[in-house]
Amino acid sequence: MHLPLRLRRGAVRAATALLAPLIRFRSIDPLPESRAHEGSPVVYVLQGPALSDRLALRLLCRRHALPDPDRRIVLSGQRHGTLHGLYRDSRQKHYTRSLARLLEAAAHAPGEDIRLVPVTIFWGRMPEREAGGLWRLLTADGWTLGSRLRRLLAMACNARAVEARLDTPLALRAPLTRYVETGRDPVPRIQRLLRRSFHRTRRQAIGPDLSHRRTLVRRLIHRPNVTAAIDAAATEQQQPRRGIERRALRYGFEIASNMSPPVLRLLYRLLGRLWQQLYDGVRVYGMEEVESLAGSHELVYVPCHRSHIDYLLLSWLLYRHGLMAPHIAAGRNLDMPLIGPLLRRAGAFFMRRSFRGNRLYGAVFNEYLHQLLLAGHPVEYFIEGGRSRTGRMLPPKPGMLSMTVDSWQHHHRRALTFVPVYIGYEKVLESNAYMRELRTGHKRRESPLRLLRVLRHLRQPFGQVHVSFGQPLTLGAWLDDHSPDWRRQSAEQPEAWRRKVVPALGFELASRINAAAALNPVALVATALLGTSHRTIETTLLYRQLDTLVALQRHAPGGERVRLPQGEPQQWVEHCVGLGMIEQVEQSLGTLTTAPDERATLLTWYRNNILHLFAAHALVAFAFRNNERLETTALHELIAPAWPTLRQELFLGDSELDDTRLARLLEAFAGEGLLTHDGTTWQRPAAHTEARERLHLLGRIIQPTLERGFLLLSTLMRYPSGAFDRDTLAAQSRQLAERLTLLQGLNAPEYYDQRLFSGLLDSLTEQGWLWHDEHGHLHFDQHLTGALQRSRLLFDPALRHRLTQLTASATPNGTADS
């Protein structure tokens, strides 16, 4: 028996008034504007008939001055409501007749341009699971609309965590006119558009349907690739196939995540409080572009890896902005008691450091990743492999990228887009551990006790965190640009094609991460202060140098999405003093800013976070260290040979330092008074001036990198081609670099990190300057000799002499000359 209309409306108004104090909207997307739909009738469409959603929508409209959902509009002489449900039952099988009647009436009222606004109300968020239980009743929304009892319980438990999504309004005039002209019924078409809108919104917010973990893992071993690996292992090891299947199952359970919505919600609240305790704030840039891609693209997040905080912070941010928390590839070393199960329920799936020699494990892991991507789950992994102990971007590992490319190549139903993410800290939790590992060369194994000890640092200030989303890379479009013939190549020679394309993809993603770097006060102060010889500078000069660094990035940025800091240099320096990164010493002639030895070593980590942004600027400045004046052409010839190696080491986006880029840099230098221009000649400032000092400090940023290259090449070419193998040369160069820091009285273990020399050799080999023979010895020709002779002009005589004398003790057998 239906109540009279007036009585029903009164009951709804009374229920709305009662619930108003209880319901809080955690997020509204997009933020409503009171005049957003002025000028045309607005009709709200909910997915289902739930009274709770209708009450929440009424409160939303009332609080934000949106058009009233209880009003009526007249079409073809009939009155119609402006609030409808797409489905009339929780099983989502039957459409409502009231909406169909509205659409039919609108088709015969061509003068009215009605706009349908799909609205989705989430009473919390929860991906649907096969497993039942009490939590399924009490927690948040899933894919099914749910029974009345479940909706009531969900509303009671989540009244203060309501999310509203208003999709793009659908104007009816154009589709209705087109379908009326053809004589076809327009209603099914409009219903399909609405259905897709609701599906896209739910997929974006709660992800695709989740199968139970046990079901998923058992399904893996029946996939063709895993089955083939099981058969091969049974044959090679001469063991029963059933035993190999059980091993594959163990691998699957060792790998697979067990994402739990209650744990996600709990972590969201706990982490929110942790960030408030640790940081002064989390600044986010570029999230809008990610939100626009979610739901229509398969997303793979590829952040830089500087701290264990990275994956927790990124998942928290995505969840906070209404996006599905990603499944995260984590090292097996984190699958430890207490910590491992919690991370697994937060979406982590674990991987071994190497698959080499274990084809079965590789096949299971590859298939698991493929199933995640195929189902549309967002995935996150660190292309560097591990955390950066030096603060700079590490060379990307090919494993996960290769598996992702292979999965998409064979089953690309939707666009797959990589989302680069730069995460910059003003003070990182693991800083002391990183310094210890650089000094000793040994990495401590993680344990629950060691990770929990971090809690004792919670009372220290850690400044702000900057999270910047870089330019997304859609795989198909990038392959078309990078290698238009990739489809034929991948079909004919798949392995050779992947070996070629995956490193290029890794470099592109690394450069896009770097291009989105954020300049924070600690990194800026570290960059300026470490340019001095004794890590001490007049505070007034420091202010001026900081201002210069930011101005250069403003006029000639080192990346497409560089984020500049807020505030003034004096505030930045005071902030760094408050964090304990630097000290100020009062002198009668003026205040000095200094960094003790231990802090100076730590500051190199923060300097390296943004070193790549100033590579081109510092290279130009360094060219004037030994040259008072240079013509533009001569300057380009002097610095161009060093650029490819710098680009490879620092993951710079510019393929070459062309004339246009150089001209922009020189104009920025002139604007800051660092160079003067006389026709075609550029001249450095006069000696003993502040501008000359600032130019010198800027050049010192890139000096360690250039010195390492000079040491390595000078060592190599003191002997005939083929005298050194790769490992010996890298080890010798590292020892020389360490000796140089000791002679200079520096405590800078990052300067002689052997991985930097190995990366430099990779770069020289890739560019064709070096090549290997069948015995692994390195060979070169007169082209490299000539390039070294030209590069000597970058160094002033004193520095050149010191470096040359240092390399005189190196020998191809790894011992010193007597």
- Model confidence pLDDT, tens digit, residues 166-179: 888 888 877 777 77
Question: Can you tell me the mean pLDDT for 43-48?
Answer: 88
Of residues 738 and 622, the one with the higher pLDDT is 622
Percent of the chain past pLDDT 90, that is, above it, reads 33
Where residue 131 falls among pLDDT bands split at 50, 70, 90? very low
Task: Give the closest residue to 431 by CA, choosing from 529, 340, 309, 569.
Answer: 309
**CB neighbour list of residue 160: distance below 8 Å, 6 or more residues apart:** 22, 23, 24, 26
C-alpha–C-alpha distance, residues 127 and 203, integer Å: 9
- Segment among 13-17, 221-225, 548-552 with least mean pLDDT: 13-17
Helix (H) or strand (E) holding 45: strand 42-46
Residues 594 and 482: beta-carbon distance below 8 Å: no
Q: How large a percentage of the chain has pLDDT more than 70?
A: 86
Name, of 74-83, 377-386, 436-445, 734-743, the range with top average pLDDT. 377-386
**Pick the residue with more confidence: 759 or 636?**
636
Longest dimension (CA), the chain: 106
What dotted CATH number matches 703-807? 1.10.10
Q: Which residues pair with 168 in a beta bridge?
A: none
Rounded to 5, what percent of the chain is helix, strand, coil? 55, 15, 35
Strands of 498-654 (E only): list them.
536-538, 583-585, 592-594, 629-631
**Confidence at 701, pLDDT banded by 50, 70, 90:** very high
Give 137's pLDDT tier (boundaries 50, 70, 90): very low
**Strand ranges in 250-381 using DSSP code E only, listed in sequence order:** 281-285, 298-303, 327-331, 348-351, 379-380
* Greatest mean pLDDT among 200-209, 294-303, 609-618, 784-793: 609-618
State the pTM of this model: 0.79
DSSP H helices, 132-286, are 134-138, 148-158, 173-182, 187-206, 213-220, 224-237, 241-255, 261-278
Please report the beta strands in 313-409, taking only residues with DSSP state E, as ranges in sequence order: 327-331, 348-351, 379-380
Q: What is the pLDDT of residue 127?
A: 47
Does 420 have pLDDT greater than 50?
yes
Burial of 375 (C-beta count, 10 Å sphere; 0-12/13-18/19+): middle
Least confident of 3-17, 626-640, 653-667: 3-17
What's the whole-number mean pLDDT along residues 739-754? 74
Nearest to 42 by CA among 101, 102, 83: 83
Topology of the domain comprising 214-515: Glycerol-3-phosphate (1)-acyltransferase (3.40.1130)
The answer to whether the CB of 708 falls within 8 A of the CB of 587 is no
Contact 50, 188 (CB under 8 A): no
Rounded CA separation 452/491 (Å):
50
| Residue spans per domain, the chain | 11-206, 214-515, 521-700, 703-807
Residues 88-125: pLDDT tens digits?
776 666 788 888 888 888 877 766 778 889 998 887 66
Cα 126 to its chain centre, rounded Å, is 24
For residue 737, count other CB atoms closer than 10 A to its CB: 22
